[in-house]
């Protein structure tokens, strides 16, 4: 195989061409998304049982559902929130569970207990993953159309039109009003004609239908006979016969007035200060977000041709804009860093041929990496792109080492033919190349142990790094030599140049440091002290943060506040929002929210989109809005977040980074403790949007029937309730079919929306004979204050206090909170506190990352031990590599960057990187020892490896610099990792050039 690269040159050239072409094709076909497509192990169950009191809901609905869900295999945690008439249960499965199978099992368990639940209960079960949330939203506005007309246009024109785009899972319409036919009953006429509300309801149910009578065969045809008694117009409804007692026929128009009215809804939708209809688009899980958005934009541009005059549609949220910006920022960082690193290589090598070889090899590696990513189904997202950008330094390192060795051999052996030099260089380096590549690859293997949301995302990142490094090894081993040979034979240099080059290589300073090991020991002590002293002072966080340029503002008015009063308060909030110069557009939902939640009429959220060109960060804008709302609307509870961060929070156990859980068995005590803890949390610097977790449903009017009185008048409880509902909200009694829509028929009394508390007490109820009797003769009317929601975790009651961070890191803020709570809050016997939210996730991730750090170090040790079969050098290299972490800590400390999952990953990378470089140095020393004394061999090894080491370090630092600067949202996600790696590279230089040779001299001086 001596002339392998010469004999196989042509096949390898074909492979190179295929790689380049295949890489371009794969890149163009890769799906683009913000994050990898991850299925979160969370399933949410929402049960709606009318307006039952909280305590009854707990007994009849929540507990049976919790017990059923608890039996599902793979369940990790179950949490529930019970409010008036509804409950929300979140089932958190193990990350390795089949989420589709788990959902089926939960639904099966619920079906088994259906008969034990209230008969009219409505239960929804949904998997919680990013694909259930909208990826784009539009507002539909008009100054000439009514809310009913706007809703109909959105539902029957726009929704089907947009649903035709491939990749759309659902088009959700919210806002506007539904059309209803109100039958306003005249009590006096009904009483005089002895007509009761039940008779009208019965008449409508027996009239408004379409039924088949069977088939009729006539001659050669078969006919289906149908009785069509459906109501299709207002006049049809007015002509319905209620009674025919042989004296006269009584129709609805004789005792009622039929009007077209807006449906009964306790929601309010607003966009940019105007009532509007919101249209949200949800994509299929496997759909390409960018292509879907492009097709949707084309479709929306066609809408003005089919919309009525005066109706406009505008976007208020396009996730693809943020995705494009994020991906572009990472891609730009990658290419800028690559370009700068290649310039460094050109400056050091001073050879156009060698530099061109690197310039060609790197794109080949990237093409092969993209082909592999495409083949295993990965998408182009900020995690995979960030992984390639972070690994670009290591990829350049592989190319530099090989090219530099070939280039050096040309300098030392100018008379040898190019293919002999190339072959000799590869044979010489192969052992070290294999060992160094393994040392950087094996550090990422333990990441398979990582769990949780951090593990789900960062495993994709580390897998991509492994793929990139393995591809880099094969490209530099097989393809790079052929590329070098293709660039032509190097002109021969006079032999005198060889001596001159050797003279330059001997670095006098190396022997000076080798003879003064005290300097190296002092450096070691300094690096150890840096690790010990800086680590406790580092800020800590969970996931790296991004500036998305969009804000989610959740709000809650005081319990029982009417929709109209809440709307009035929010209009004042909107006056604050529109005066912020950084705000571009906003939308507001009241009585409903983005996502899958229980929402009361006094709750809702804003989605605020900021301008791309602005001078302030999103957090600074949030701080201004928060301060102004708190000053002008103190009764409004508010909570700020960013869209993607909020989405990830919804998919995890808590949307807020700070979550304090108090467990106990007495709701009154839990409420008191929650208020006390929330007060202490509010005093801690760096906390914002502190919420005590106490949610009170609005006050209720309890109408208690007197059964003996009902029996005396011959009225059933069901009939009594039916009439009471008719006087207030009205009773649905069938539908009217118009074109493609069904409009509800609602039986109501005139002025039903104007009742007050005293008005209910003066209400009259129809007797079976059509006469009227005051409600006070039949029932007792009382006013009750609202009940608090009940939160539970794993079947135990708890109080939950939450808060967000403002200009402070997670770790130190939690430490202060723990000190405040421990010193000021005294828990009764049987009560205990746990800290959840992002802090719990952070602690779990840090434990796993520490285990990964130890495992990675041991794997690097094993690779070196296997390579050199020398326990001393394996221990030394591992020790040097671990000391490199001090540079990462120092860089994080000086740049005020928190230690989070991203920067922790950078620490682990540094161990492999330093181990890789040390392998080449020791290999050179080992080879030189065959002909020289130990100190001479050390000087030669360090002098020989000086140029590639400096090229590698500077190339990697410059390649990572665009990421470290964090320009763009996507780059911000990888900024902590890049800073940690750069810091490690800087410290690696004295460790590899001074400390390592000094210790090698001490270990091997007697050999």
Q: In the chain, pLDDT over 90 holds for what percent of residues?
A: 21
CATH code at 134-178+275-320: 3.30.70.1320
Q: Are 330 and 971 in contact (CB under 8 A)?
A: yes
Burial 400-418 (b: 16+ CB within 10 A, else e): bbbbbbbbbbbbeebeeeb
CA distance linking residue 697 with residue 83, whole number of Å: 7
Per DSSP, what are the bridge partners of residue 226?
212
Smallest CA-to-CA distance from 712 within 749, 765, 762, 758 is with 765
Hey, what's the torsion of the CAs at 528, 533, 534, 538, to 10 degrees?
Answer: 140
Q: Across residues 759-781, what is the average pLDDT?
A: 86
Confidence of residue 363 (pLDDT cuts 50, 70, 90): confident
Distance CA 392, CA 358 (A): 12
Q: How many residues does the chain have?
A: 1007
Coil, strand, or helix at residue 853? helix
CA distance 283 to 170: 7
Residue 921 pLDDT > 50 = yes
Mean pLDDT of 456-460: 84
Q: Which residues pair with 588 in a beta bridge?
A: 270, 606
Cα angle value 87/124/785 (rounded, 5°): 25
Examine the pLDDT at 718 and tell me if it is beyond 60: yes
The strand ranges marked E within 861-920 are: none
For domain 42-127, is the CATH number 1.10.287.610? no
Asked whether the predicted pLDDT for residue 448 surpasses 60, the reply is yes
Tokens of 175: 């806002």
Do the beta carbons of residue 898 and residue 993 sit within 8 Å? no
pLDDT at 501: 40
Residue 676 pLDDT greater than 90, yes or no? yes
C-alpha distance from residue 793 to each of 80, 618, 639, 998 (Å): 6, 34, 23, 58
Give yes or no for a contact between 36 and 376, defined as CB atoms under 8 angstroms apart: no
Ramachandran region of residue 246, left (φ > 0), alpha (ψ -120 to 50) or beta? left
Q: pLDDT band for position 674 (50/70/90)?
A: very high
- Closest Cα partner for 147 from 177, 174, 168? 177
Q: Sketch the domain layout of the chain as residue ranges.
A: 42-127, 134-178+275-320, 181-213+226-261, 508-537+836-1006
**Cα(454)–Cα(841) distance, integer angstroms:** 8
Contact (CB, 8 A) for 992 and 925: no
| pLDDT (0 to 100) of residue 663 | 93
Q: Are both 42-127 and 134-178+275-320 of the same fold?
A: yes
Question: Residue 116 gets which letter from DSSP?
Answer: G
Cα of first residue to Cα of last residue in the chain, in angstroms, is 35
β-sheet with 136-142: strand ranges across:
168-175, 277-283, 136-142, 311-318
3-state SS assignment for residue 219 = coil
E-state strands within 193-352: 210-218, 221-228, 241-244, 249-251, 256-262, 268-271, 274-275, 277-283, 311-318
Q: Which helix (H) or strand (E) holds 178?
A: none
Buried b (16+ CB within 10 A) or exposed e, 789-802: bbbbbeeebbbbbb
Q: What is the pLDDT of residue 143?
A: 84
Among candidate residues 399, 445, 383, the one with its CA nearest the CA of residue 912 = 445
CB of 538 closer than 8 Å to CB of 899: yes
Torsion, Cα of 942, 947, 948, 950 (10° steps):
100
Q: What is the pLDDT of residue 39?
A: 78
Taking the C-alpha atoms of residue 796 and residue 826, their distance in angstroms, rounded to an integer, is 20
User: Hey, what are 65's tokens?
Assistant: 């559902």
3-state secondary structure 527-546: HHHHHHHHHHHCCECCCCCC
Cβ contacts of residue 974 below 8 Å, gap of 6+? 330, 382, 386, 389, 390, 544, 902, 963
CB 979 within 8 A of CB 987: no
The tokens describing 639, both together, are 């909570």
499 pLDDT above the threshold of 50? no
Q: Which residues pair with residue 833 across a beta bridge?
A: 662
Per-residue pLDDT tens over the stretch 478-495: 888 888 888 765 444 444
Question: What pLDDT does 902 receive?
Answer: 86
Mean pLDDT of the chain: 85
Confidence band, pLDDT 50/70/90 cuts, at residue 740:
confident
Topology classification of domain 181-213+226-261: 3.30.2090
Q: What is the pLDDT of residue 488?
A: 64
Between 305 and 652, whose confidence is greater? 305
DSSP class of residue 134?
Answer: -
Quickly tell me which residue has 């999952």 as its tokens: 901
Higher pLDDT, 350 or 821: 821
Q: pLDDT, tens digit, for every residue of 526-585?
A: 999 999 999 888 888 887 777 778 888 988 888 878 888 888 898 899 999 988 999 888
C-alpha 356/C-alpha 363 separation (Å) is 12
Q: What is the pLDDT of residue 402?
A: 83
What is Dmax (Cα atoms) for the chain? 131
Rounded-to-integer distance, Cα 374 and Cα 365, Å: 14
Least confident interval from 100-114, 643-657, 803-817, 919-933: 643-657
Across the range 200-204, mean pLDDT stands at: 88
DSSP letter at 561?
-
Is the pLDDT assigned to residue 736 strictly greater than 70?
A: yes
Q: Taking 90 as the threshold, does the pLDDT of residue 423 lie above it?
A: no
Segment (H or E) for 765: strand 764-766
> Which of 33-42, 696-705, 913-922 is the most confident on average?
913-922
pLDDT digits (tens, 9 = 90+) for 107-127: 999 999 988 898 888 898 988
Report CA 126 to chain centroid distance, whole Å.
17
Collapsed DSSP state (helix, strand, coil) of residue 259: strand
In the chain, % helix, strand, coil (3-state, to 5) comes to: 55, 20, 25
Per DSSP bridges, beta strands 268-271 and 603-610 are unpaired
8 Å CB contact between 97 and 41: yes
Torsional sign, CA 885, 888, 893, 899 = negative
Q: What is the DSSP letter of 119?
A: T
Answer yes or no: are the C-beta atoms of 855 and 449 closer than 8 Å.
yes
**What is the H or E stretch that residue 588 is in?**
strand 583-590
Q: Which helix (H) or strand (E) holds 744?
A: strand 741-748
Task: Compare 408 and 143 and report the one with higher pLDDT.
Answer: 143
Give the span between the Cα atoms of 358 and 364, in whole angstroms: 10
Q: Beta 741-748 vs 179-185: how paired, if at all?
A: parallel
- Of the candidates 565, 663, 675, 793, which has an alpha carbon nearest to the alpha carbon of residue 89? 793
Q: What global pTM score does this model have? A: 0.79
Q: Are 642 and 608 in contact (CB under 8 A)?
A: no
The most confident of the ranges 294-303, 346-355, 405-414, 556-565 is 294-303
**Position 502 pLDDT exceeds 70:** no
The arithmetic mean of pLDDT across residues 224-249, rounded, is: 87
The predicted structure's pLDDT at residue 342:
77
689: CB partners within 8 A, 6+ apart: 626, 638, 639, 640, 656, 802, 803, 804
Pairing outcome for strands 687-691 and 832-836: unpaired
State whether residue 41 is helix, strand or coil: coil
Residue 412 scores a pLDDT above 60: yes
Burial of 205 (0-12, 13-18, 19+ CB in 10 A): exposed
Which residues, in sequence order, are bridge partners of residue 832?
663
Closest CA to 578 of 606, 544, 600, 619: 606
Identify the CA nearest to 332 among candidates 953, 952, 967. Answer: 967
Closest among 834, 886, 823 to 528, alpha carbons compared: 886
- pLDDT above 70 covers what percent of the chain? 95
Least confident piece of the model among 367-381, 530-544, 806-820, 944-958: 944-958
Q: How high is the pLDDT of residue 225?
A: 92
CATH number of the domain located at residue range(s) 508-537+836-1006 in this protein: 1.20.1640.10
Torsion, Cα 611 616 619 622, to 10 degrees, reads -70
The dihedrals phi and psi of 580, each to the nearest 5 degrees, come to: -80, 120
Across residues 1-11, what is the average pLDDT?
68
Residue whose entry in the numeric block shows the structure tokens 């800028």: 336
Question: What is the reported pLDDT for 129?
Answer: 74
The pLDDT value given to residue 65: 94
């Amino acid at each position: 195989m001596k002339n392998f690269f010469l004999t196989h040159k042509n096949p390898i050239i074909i492979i190179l061409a295929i790689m380049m072409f295949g890489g371009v094709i794969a890149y163009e076909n890769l799906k683009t998304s913000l994050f990898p497509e991850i299925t979160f192990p969370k399933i949410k169950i929402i049960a709606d049982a009318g307006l039952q009191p909280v305590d009854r809901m707990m007994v009849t609905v929540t507990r049976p559902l919790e017990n059923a869900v608890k039996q599902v295999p793979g369940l990790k945690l179950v949490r529930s929130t019970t409010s008036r008439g509804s409950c929300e249960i979140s089932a958190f499965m193990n990350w390795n569970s089949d989420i589709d199978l788990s959902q089926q099992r939960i639904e099966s368990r619920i079906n088994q207990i259906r008969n034990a639940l209230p008969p009219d209960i409505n239960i929804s079960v949904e998997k919680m993953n990013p694909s259930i949330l909208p990826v784009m939203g539009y507002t539909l506005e008009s100054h000439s159309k009514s809310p009913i007309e706007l809703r109909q246009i959105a539902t029957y024109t726009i929704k089907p039109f947009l649903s035709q785009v491939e990749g759309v899972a659902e088009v959700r319409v919210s806002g506007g009003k539904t059309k209803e036919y109100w039958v306003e009953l005249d009590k006096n006429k009904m009483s005089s004609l002895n007509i009761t509300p039940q008779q009208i309801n019965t008449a409508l149910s027996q009239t408004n239908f379409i039924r088949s009578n069977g088939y009729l065969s006539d001659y050669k045809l078969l006919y289906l006979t149908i009785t069509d008694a459906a109501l299709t117009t207002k006049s049809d409804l007015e002509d319905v016969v209620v009674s025919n007692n042989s004296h006269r026929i009584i129709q609805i128009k004789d005792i009622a007035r039929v009007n077209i009215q807006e449906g009964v809804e306790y929601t309010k939708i607003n966009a940019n200060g105007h009532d509007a209809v919101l249209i949200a688009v949800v994509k299929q899980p496997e759909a390409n977000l960018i292509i879907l958005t492009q097709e949707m934009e084309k479709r929306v541009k066609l809408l003005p041709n089919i919309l009525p005059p005066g109706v406009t549609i505008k976007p208020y949220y396009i996730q693809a804009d943020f995705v494009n910006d994020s991906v572009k920022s990472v891609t730009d960082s990658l290419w800028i860093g690559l370009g700068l690193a290649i310039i460094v290589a050109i400056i050091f090598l001073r050879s156009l041929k060698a530099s061109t070889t690197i310039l060609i090899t790197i794109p080949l590696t990237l093409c092969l990496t993209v082909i592999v990513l495409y083949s295993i189904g990965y998408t182009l997202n900020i995690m995979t792109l960030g992984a390639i950008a972070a690994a670009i330094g290591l990829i350049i390192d592989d190319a530099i080492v090989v090219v530099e060795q070939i280039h050096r051999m040309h300098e030392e052996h100018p008379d040898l033919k190019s293919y002999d030099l190339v072959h000799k260089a590869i044979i010489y380096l192969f052992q070290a190349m294999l060992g160094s590549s393994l040392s950087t690859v094996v550090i990422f293997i333990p990441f398979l142990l990582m769990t949780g949301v951090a593990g789900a995302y960062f495993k994709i990142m580390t897998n991509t790094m492994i793929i990139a490094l393995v591809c880099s090894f094969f490209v530099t081993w097989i393809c790079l030599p052929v590329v070098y040979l293709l660039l032509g034979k190097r002109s021969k240099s006079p032999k005198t140049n060889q001596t001159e080059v050797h003279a330059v290589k001997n670095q006098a300073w190396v022997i000076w440091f080798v003879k003064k090991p005290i300097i190296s020991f002092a450096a070691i002590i300094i690096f150890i002290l840096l690790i010990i002293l800086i680590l406790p002072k580092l800020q800590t966080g969970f996931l790296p943060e991004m500036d998305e340029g969009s804000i989610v503002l959740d709000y809650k008015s005081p319990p029982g506040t009417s929709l109209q009063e809440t709307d009035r308060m929010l209009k004042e909030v909107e006056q604050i929002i529109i005066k912020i110069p950084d705000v571009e557009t906003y939308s507001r939902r009241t009585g409903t929210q983005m996502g899958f939640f229980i929402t009361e009429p006094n709750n809702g959220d804003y989605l605020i989109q900021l301008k791309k060109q602005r001078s302030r960060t999103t957090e600074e804008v949030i701080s201004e809005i928060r301060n102004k709302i708190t000053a002008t609307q103190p009764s409004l509870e508010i909570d700020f977040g960013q869209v993607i961060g909020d989405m990830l929070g919804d998919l995890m156990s808590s949307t807020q980074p700070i979550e304090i859980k108090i467990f106990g068995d007495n709701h009154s005590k839990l409420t008191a403790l929650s208020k006390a803890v929330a007060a202490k949390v509010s005093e801690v610097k760096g906390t914002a949007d502190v919420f005590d977790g106490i949610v009170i449903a609005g006050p209720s009017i309890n109408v208690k029937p007197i059964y003996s009185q009902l029996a005396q008048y011959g009225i059933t409880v069901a009939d009594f309730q039916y009439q009471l509902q008719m006087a207030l909200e009205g009773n649905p009694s069938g539908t009217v079919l118009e074109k493609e829509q069904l409009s509800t028929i609602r039986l109501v009394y005139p002025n039903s929306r104007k009742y007050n508390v005293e008005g209910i007490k003066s209400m009259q109820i129809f007797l079976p004979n059509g006469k009227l009797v005051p409600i006070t003769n039949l029932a007792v009317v009382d006013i009750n204050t609202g009940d608090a929601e009940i939160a539970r975790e794993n079947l135990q009651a708890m109080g939950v206090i939450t808060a967000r961070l403002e200009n402070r890191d997670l770790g130190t803020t939690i430490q202060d909170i723990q000190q405040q709570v421990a010193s000021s809050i005294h828990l009764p016997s049987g009560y205990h506190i746990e800290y959840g939210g992002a802090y719990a996730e952070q602690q779990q991730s840090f434990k796993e990352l520490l285990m990964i750090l130890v495992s990675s170090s041991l794997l690097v040790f094993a690779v070196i031990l296997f390579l050199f079969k020398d326990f001393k050098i394996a221990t030394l290299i591992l020790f040097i590599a671990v000391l490199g972490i001090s540079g990462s800590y120092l860089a994080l400390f000086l740049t005020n960057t928190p230690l989070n999952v991203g920067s922790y990953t950078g620490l682990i990378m540094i161990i492999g990187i330093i181990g890789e470089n040390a392998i080449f140095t020791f290999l050179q020393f080992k080879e030189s020892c065959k002909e020289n004394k130990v100190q001479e061999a050390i000087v030669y090894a360090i002098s020989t490896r000086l140029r590639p080491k400096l090229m590698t370090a500077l190339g990697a630092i410059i390649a990572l610099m665009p990421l470290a600067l964090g320009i763009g949202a996507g780059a911000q996600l990888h900024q902590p990792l890049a800073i940690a790696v750069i810091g490690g590279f800087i410290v690696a230089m004295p460790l590899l050039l001074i400390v390592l040779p000094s210790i090698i001299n001490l270990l091997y001086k007697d050999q």
